[in-house]
Structure 1
Amino acid sequence: MPSRLTTTLTAAAAAGALVLAGCAEETASEPASSLTGVEVTGDAGAEPTVEVDAPLELSRTESSVVSEGDGDEIAESDLVTVQAVIVNGTTGETLTSTWENDPVGLDLSAQDLFPAFKTQIPGKTVGSRLVIGSTPADAYGETGNEQLGVGAEDPVLFVVDLVAAPDVLESAQGEEVQPEEDLPEVQWQEDAPAEITIPDGVDAPEETVTQQLVRGEGPEVEEGQTIKVTYTGVLYKNGEVFDSSFNNPAASSVDFPIGVGQVIKGWDDGLVGQPVGSRVLLVVPPADGYGEQGRGEQITGSDTLVFVVDILAAY
C-alpha cells in the first residue's frame, strides 16, 4: 500500500492543518451564543478580518453563519474544500490562515477529523462563511497544539469558507480505453479486488507505465490535492495480490495526498493530471516504488508492482 499521510484537518493535525465545525442551532433552553464578541469583516471569496473580544468563553461548540451560500447542502459524509482562519479564543490572536494557498480538503466521514467539524458543517450550504467556536475537546484536544499556539485549555475560533463539495463516484465512469499490447490484463470486479493477469513472456518495464483503462469525465487531479480511490496491487513476477482497498472491511475507498511525495513516485507521476472518474493501470518498477529496501516480507527490492486505481474524487 502506498505510504499515506493524512493532510486533512484532524485531531492530531500539525501547524497549518485545520479542522472545521458547523453551526449548532439554539433553542430556548440553550444558553445564549458566546460568539457575540466575534466580528468578521471582508468580502466573500477573500480572506476575512477577524476581531475577538477575548477571552472567548465557550461551554459548548457552536457556530453562526456570517453569509449563506447558494450551493448544495453539505451532508455528513461529504467531501468539502475550505478556506479558513484560525484564532486562539483565549488571546484573540490569529494563528494561521489557508488563504495564501489552495483550499484545504476535508472528508467529513473521517474518524480522525475534529469532532467540532464533523457535527457542525453538515447542513450548511456550499458558498457559506461560518464562524465556529470550538471547545478545546472538540478541536486540538487535551494536548492542544504547541506549534500552532493552542494551549490545552484554549478554545479555538475558526472562520471558514465552504468552497466546494466534490461528488464522490462509486467506481470509474467514462469512456473505455483500449490498452497497449503486452500490458497486464485487468478484469474489474464490483466490490472486490480486480483480477490482474500478467502477460506471459513479457519482461517488466524499466520505467513506469501509465495506461488509462477508463478515461474519466471529471476535473483533472492536481498536485497537492487529496484523492479518494479504490485500488488493487499485485506483484509483476507472479500476479500475487499484495494489497487492495477492497480488503478493508470498514470502507473500500481510501484517501491519499497526491503529487507531494507522500505516496510512491509511480503514483505521484501517474495519477496527477488524470481526470476524476478514470481507471488507471500503473506498472511501477522498484525505483518508482519502494526502492531497493522493498516493503515488508512480500515486496522485495527487485519487485515491479502493478496497480489498478479508480479515481473517485479529488479535493
Structure 2
Amino acid sequence: MSAAVATPRGRSTGAPGARSVRRGRRALGGLAVLGALVLAVAGCTPTTAPEPGAAPTIEVAGDFGIRPTITIPDGFTVGETSTATLVTGDGPVLVDGQSVLADYLAENVTTGEVVADTYEGLPEIRTFSVDDLGQPLYDLLEGATIGSRLLRVELGTDADPNPHVLVLDLLPLRAQGEPLEPLPAMPTVTLADDGAPTVAIPDAAPPVSVASTVLIKGAGPQVTLGQSVVLQLVAVRWSDGAVADSTWGVAPRAVALADLPTGLLAGLVEQTVGSQVLVVVPPADGNGQDTLVYVADILATGDVAVGPSGTEGQPGGDPTAGATDAPTG
C-alpha cells in the first residue's frame, strides 16, 4: 500500500505536476468538525484500492507554529490512514486530562479545499481526553510532546470519497523566551516546574498607577489593540496575597483585549507572544475593589472576536472571579 510521507520542516519543491494548497479561512466547526471527519473515516472502507509502484509524497513546509504550506503531487492516492511526527517538541508529554492548545490546518487532498484552519485566528483550547477529542484524534496526540508538529492523512470513505490531510501544532502552555530582570520594588515571582507562578507581595504600599515589567520576553508577534489573546494568568490581591483568579490547573483563557480591565490591557498591548508580563493594577484601572497583581503568559494573539463566555473551543473568563473583567460602572 502507498502511504503519505511528509518532509519535516521542509520546503515545497515546486516540482512540475505538484500543486500548493491555497491559504484558506478559519473553519467554524474547529476540532469538532475534524473529530467528526476522522470518526467517519475510522469505520469505513476506502473507495479505491492503492495502486502499486513508488508512492508520491505529501510535503509540509514551514516552521512550527506558522501556518504550513501543504504540497500534494498530482495523482497522489491514499492507500491507508497514516500519521507522522514532523517536528518533535522538547516540552512535556501530554497526560490525560490536561489542556491542549492546538493550531491546525486540514485540507481535502483531492480538491485542495480547506476543511479547517485556526492559523488565521486563535488556536483552540481543548482537553486531552477521548471525550473531548474523539478516539482518532486522541490516538494522534497520545505520546506527543508540547512543541510537536503532527501529520495525519486519512482515507476517503463511501460517504466522502476524498481523503484529507491534517497538520497540527501542539503549542506551548507557558511563556517561552528570554528571562529578564524585573523592575525594582515589584512583587517577586517564582515558577513551578510546569510554569505556574507564585507571587510574593512586598511589604510596602501598592503603586497608585499601573506598573508593569516583562519577566520573560517572547519572540512571537506583537499584541495590538482590537485583538483577542490566549493567556495563562494568575491575579493576586496586594492587600493579603490571596489568589483572586487563576487559569493554572484549569485551562488557558481566550479573551478579547477590549474586555480586559484597562490597567491589564495597558500592560499587555505591544508585548509579544511568548512573553510573561507582571502588571500591578490599582482599583481605578481594574475591578474597582482591589489592587491586583497579574502575572500573564501570552500564548497567542489573533484578529478574531471572542465573547465574554468564550467561543467554541475557547473558554472565556470566569465572570465570578472579577479579575479579568472590566468594571461595568
State the TM-score, normalized to the length of structure 2: 0.49
2-structure distance, mates of 1:228, 1:178: 20
Report the counterpart of residue 204 of structure 2 in structure 1: 200
Equivalent in the alignment of 1:128: 151
- Aligned-pair identity in percent equals 19
Q: Gapped runs of 5+ residues in structure 2?
A: 1-26, 50-57, 61-68, 73-79, 302-329
Once the two structures are TM-superposed, the CA of residue 82 in structure 1 deviates from its matched residue by 0.9
Q: Say if 1:114 and 1:228 are closer, same or farther in 2 by CA, change over 3 A.
A: same
Rounded Cα–Cα distance in structure 1 between residues aligned with 2:136 and 2:122: 13
SS at match of 1:121: helix
Question: How big is the shift at 1:115?
Answer: 1.8
- RMSD in angstroms over aligned alpha carbons? 5.2
Q: 1:104 to 1:281 in 2, by over 3 A?
A: closer
The question of 1:233 aligning with 2:238 is answered no
Measured at CA, do residues 72 and 193 of structure 1 come closer, stay the same or move farther in structure 2, by a change above 3 Å? closer
Equivalent residues, number: 232
User: In structure 1, which of residues 59, 72, 85 is the aligned counterpart of residue 88 of structure 2?
Assistant: 72
Q: Report the secondary structure of 1:283's partner residue.
A: strand
Once the two structures are superposed, the pairs formed by residues 172-251 of structure 1 within 5 Å of their partners are: 174-181=178-185, 183=186, 185-188=187-190, 190=192, 194-198=198-202, 200-205=204-209, 208-212=210-214, 214-220=215-221, 222=223, 227=230, 229=232, 231-245=233-247, 251=249
**Counterpart in the other structure of 1:165:** 170
How far, CA to CA, are the matches of 1:46 and 1:215 in structure 2?
33
1:269-288 matches, within 5 Å, as: 269-275=266-272, 278-286=275-283, 288=285
Pairwise CA distance, 1:16: 0.9
1:257 to 2:254 alignment: yes
SS at 2:81's partner residue? strand
Could you tell me which amino acid in structure 2 is paired with residue 243 of structure 1?
Answer: D
Contact 1:23/1:121 (<8 A) preserved: no
Are residues 286 and 186 of structure 1, via their aligned partners in 2, closer, same or farther at CA, if it must alter by over 3 Å?
Answer: same
Give CA-to-partner distance per residue, 1:97-136, whole Å, 9 cap, x none. 538x6165235544573325642532798373644889xx
- List runs of 5+ in structure 1 lacking aligned partners: 1-14, 49-62, 87-93, 135-153, 291-300
Structure 1 position 302, deviation (Å):
3.6
- TM-score computed with the length of structure 1 as normaliser: 0.50
Alpha-carbon spacing, 1:122–1:203, altered in 2? closer, same or farther (3 Å): closer
After superposition, the Cα gap between the structure-2 partners of 1:189 and 1:71, relative to the gap in structure 1 and judged at 3 Å, is closer
Equivalent pair of 1:69/1:129 in contact (CA under 8 Å):
no
Aligned partner (choices 292, 295, 299) of residue 305 of structure 1: 292
Distance 1:167 1:203, change over 3 A: closer
Alpha-carbon distance in structure 1 between the residues aligned to 2:229 and 2:154: 25
Letter in 1 for 2:178: G
Structure-2 change in CA distance of 1:97 and 1:174 (3 Å): closer
